[in-house]
Amino acid sequence: MSRKAGAIHCVAPPALSAEFRKIHQFLVFAVNTPAQHALAAHLADPACWQGLSAFFAERRALLAPGLKSAGFKLLPSQGTYFQLADYSAIRPDLEDVAFSRWLTLEHGVASIPVSVFYQQPPAQKIVRFCFAKQTQTLQAASARLARLGA
């Protein structure tokens, strides 16, 4: 495996490649010990993190109007860069995985079905949107979502 310019390339037999893909999602959320120590030293300076709440609130505010215009009901979101949204008023006929696929393919906006985080998912029509994105990405997504509700 090699990593260059943000992409991971792997040449392997299909069986091994399938196993790599299964664990990759979880590996990118884990941090090695030296990086944890470096982050701890960085966070010792409050100037590095005190503005994060306002920064992410601003990002959330860029996406929210489009979500609301499309018919999503927004759930409270604190301490995260994900906005949970109930889509039952938009496509009640679809389970969340199918809805996320439909939204991505038909409208160009990606969402994450929350059922993938549960062994026995609740019977809710909820997906999540990441707003830790560049301003122009959030503005484009909001505009696409607003057209969905038109």
- Give the domains, in start order, of the chain with CATH numbers: 11-48 (no CATH), 52-148 (3.90.1150.10)
Condensed to tens digits (0 to 9), the pLDDT of residues 13-23 reads: 888 888 887 77
pLDDT band at 132 (very low <50, low <70, confident <90, very high): very high
Condensed to tens digits (0 to 9), the pLDDT of residues 112-129 reads: 999 998 888 788 899 999
pLDDT, residue 5, reads 46
Is the pLDDT reported for residue 142 higher than 80? yes
Asked if residues 64 and 74 have their Cβ atoms less than 8 Å apart, the reply is yes
pLDDT, residue 19, reads 83
pLDDT, residue 87, reads 97
- Angle among Cα 145, 109, 21 to the nearest 5 degrees reads 160
